[in-house]
Structure 1
Amino acid sequence: MNNSISGEHFEQTYREGNPPWVIGAPQPAVVELERQGWIGGSVLDPGCGEGEHTILLTELGYDVLGVDGSRTAVVRARDNAAERGVAARFEVADAFDLGTEPRFDTVVDSALLHVFGEVERRAYTRSLHAVCAPGAVVHVLALSDAEDAGGPRLSAEQVRDSFGAGWLVESLRPEVYRGVANEEYAARLGVSPNEQVDTAAWLARVRRI
């Protein structure tokens, strides 16, 4: 696999402190998707991190499973859910081997796809295809190359090319992703370190066919 961030990197980042993608709340784009009625049925939250989206959707009555390759992230997610009094479900799982049972109707991928290299992105979407029911919808919020804010970023073409046979890209539009500015990025923007900022992203809607 190529040009990706390793699972060990994420595990270490969670162990060392708060990662820049942890904002203590769901991404506004995901909140809006739910408000618009784009989430339904059985939901998978891959790369769930500390569980913000799984907890939100569970609170709203959805059947949701949050999975992450980082054990530390999953422990934190479970703790966060317990603090909120929400019976959210979390599991440690390999994004490239999610199973073979087509059991999910909606997938909410918030900032996972873009951390993979080209070959890995295709392996990941094949894994998603195996666990998505026919007609299922995958929502992808991925950092966009329209803005240089550090970290891995994708072009619109790379997002589209991540989905091969068995997928239909129905929509791909600009969005924003909210994160925490590190010192370098904060200096570039003229904001305080650790301040929350919005950066360019793509929001894709892809249907499993």
Structure 2
Amino acid sequence: MSVGYSLAYRSGITPWEHRNSVPDPPFERLLDREEVGRERPFGRALDLGCGTGHHTRLLQTRGWEVMGVDSSRHAVDTAIDRGGESSRYVIGDVAHLPGCGVGKGFDLFLDVGCFHGRRPADRTAMGRGVTELASPGAVLLMMCFPRGRRLFGANGADADDISAAFPEWELLDVRDADTSCMTGPVARHKPRWYRLALTAGPSV
């Protein structure tokens, strides 16, 4: 998916960016839950497959020390332009996180439609990388289309796929995404939110 994804950004055919450009109160309520009991700054966050940085900037505005990572240079360049001097982004593949220069010690990981578009081997590598970069007790929020729902090149994923790629994480919650703020194609594919927490230290 990453090659097609980069081509889409270079050609300007990125319908998912429209979804990310509008206010999304249901998504912000998911973040509210992660901020309960924390004081600003809430901790370190990594936006996986950040695209042009909509969610990265939102997390920063809310009080997270956040970094975005994406394989598309065009998307990252746009994210930097929109974020100004305070923005922090890295061009890198989510299947090779430890070597892409984002650092370690993240308390929150956000994946809005990245994992479900990767091949099985990449999903496993992504799980290992996220675990290596995570702080104890870190949380991962992931939005996926159900398996078999193809849109924007994504194959979809379910709880079994996610648990297989993140064996050291506990799946705490699965819920249908509130599609009231989503564009038609995305809403029709009935995305779901998954919430996981790291239950063990990174593998050695």
TM-score range, shorter chain: 0.7 to 0.9
Query: Which deviates further from its counterpart, 96-105 or 107-116?
Result: 96-105
Corresponding letter in the other structure for 1:22: E
Shift of 1:200: 0.8
| Alignment partner of 1:152 is 2:155 | yes
Q: 1:38 to 1:117 in 2, by over 3 A?
A: farther
Matched-pair contact (CA < 8 Å) for 2:163–2:169 = no
In 2, Cα distance between the equivalents of 1:99 and 1:158?
22
Residue 21 of structure 1 is matched in structure 2 by 16
2:32 maps to 35
Q: Would the aligned equivalents of 2:124 and 2:165 in 1 still touch at CA under 8 Å?
A: yes
Aligned partner of 2:194 among 192, 195, 204: 204
1:160 Cα offset (Å): 2.8
DSSP-derived class of the 2:129 partner = helix
CA distance in 2, matches of 1:147, 1:176: 17
Q: Which residue of 1 aligns with 2:39?
A: none
Q: Distance in 1 between matches of 2:124 and 2:26?
A: 24
Partner of 1:120: 122
Distance 1:30 1:49, change over 3 A: same
1:200 counterpart SS class: coil
Q: In the alignment, is residue 91 of structure 1 matched against residue 81 of structure 2?
A: no
Residue segments in structure 1 that go unaligned for 5+ positions in a row: 186-195
Aligned length: 187
3-state SS of paired residue (1:19) = coil
Instruction: Pick 1 or 2: higher relative contact order, CA cutoff 8 A, min separation 6.
Output: 1
Distance 1:106 1:8 in 2: 27
1:190 corresponds to: none
Which of the pair is proportionally richer in strand?
Answer: 1
Does structure 1 conserve the Cα–Cα contact (< 8 Å) formed by 2:104 and 2:134?
yes
Report SS of the residue matched to 2:190: strand
Report Cα offsets for 1:104-144 as digits up to 9, x if no partner. Answer: 01101110110112222111111101100111111111112
**What TM-score does the superposition give when structure 2 sets the normalisation length?**
0.80
Q: Which amino acid aligns with 1:34?
A: L
Cα gap change, 1:20 to 1:70, in 2 (>3 Å): same
Normalising by structure 1, report the TM-score.
0.78
- Quote the offset at 1:161 in angstroms: 2.5
Alpha carbons of structure 1 residues 76 and 119: separation in structure 2 relative to 1, 3 Å: same
Q: Which has the larger helix fraction?
A: 2
Q: How does 1:1-209 map to 2 (within 5 A)?
A: 5=1, 7-23=2-18, 24-25=21-22, 28-38=25-35, 40-82=42-84, 87-99=86-98, 102-145=104-147, 151-164=154-167, 166-176=168-178, 180=183, 197=187, 199-208=189-198, 209=200
The offset of 1:58, in angstroms, is 1.1
Give me the whole-angstrom Cα distance separating, in 1, the residues matched to 2:7 and 2:136.
Answer: 36
For the aligned residues, what is the CA RMSD? 2.6
Deviates more, 1:141-150 or 1:102-111: 141-150
Amino acid at match of 2:96: D
How big is the shift at 1:155?
A: 2.8
